[in-house]
Amino acid sequence: PNKIEDLFNKSDEVKEKYSFFHFFPFVNQPCKNSHHHMTADVIYETLKKDNPALSLGTVYRNLNQLADHEMIQKISIPGHPDRFDATTHNHFHFYCTSCHDIKDLFFEGLYEAAGLVEKETGARIDHSDMSFHGLCADCKDVAVN
């Protein structure tokens, strides 16, 4: 079972303790329905249409709490707004420095990097957070022409 299912199976008392729990379905839906990793502002604009009383601060606060509890993933790129990802299992990202799009990467060879680090350092890797930065295929084609 994943962390989201675990929270949904908790007692009502536990759910009340985590006020963001009630917010999760609203935030998670735009993240899951989008192939893009959305910013809090974009999520807010998406949700505001059907929830006019919603505040931007509520969206930011709840997104950060959901990320802290590993129900969504926060992607931080220095100099740019944080993005949020509904895919919580281990994967990597490619960030286009031109169009600022972020793509999920699930290449087998990338998962082997942790093992190489452990072998070389003698350390134990519990989690890795790796991203690649450059030009996506579309932006690379534009730059070449």
Average pLDDT value for residue range 23-36: 61
Q: Residue 60: pLDDT above 60?
A: yes
Q: Which amino acid is at 141?
A: D
Lookup: tokens for 77: 């790129």
3-state SS, residue 132: strand
Give the pLDDT score at 41.
Answer: 92
The rounded percent of the chain whose pLDDT value lies above 70 is 75
Q: Residue 77: pLDDT above 50?
A: yes
- What would the pLDDT profile of 80-134 be if each residue is shown by its tens digit? 999 988 888 888 999 999 999 999 998 888 888 889 999 999 999 988 888 999 9
Q: What is the DSSP string of 64-131?
A: HHHHHTTSSEEE--TTS--EEES--SS-EEEEETTT--EEEE--HHHHTHHHHHHHHH----S----E
Give the pLDDT score at 35.
Answer: 61
- The answer to whether 104 and 96 have CB atoms below 8 angstroms apart is no
Of 76 and 47, which is predicted with more confidence?
Answer: 76
Give the pLDDT score at 135.
Answer: 96
Q: Residue 34: pLDDT above 70?
A: no
Q: Which amino acid is at 50?
A: D
Beta pairing partners, 96: 134
- The answer to whether 77 and 95 have CB atoms below 8 angstroms apart is yes
What distance, in Å, lies between the first and last C-alpha atoms of the chain? 48
Give the pLDDT score at 126.
Answer: 86
3-state SS, residue 134: strand
Supply the angle between the helices 24-33 and 40-48 in degrees, to the nearest 10: 110
Q: Which amino acid is at 2?
A: N
Closest CA to 44 of 33, 30, 32: 30
Q: pLDDT band at residue 25, thresholds of 50, 70 and 90?
A: low
The rounded percent of the chain whose pLDDT value lies above 90 is 28
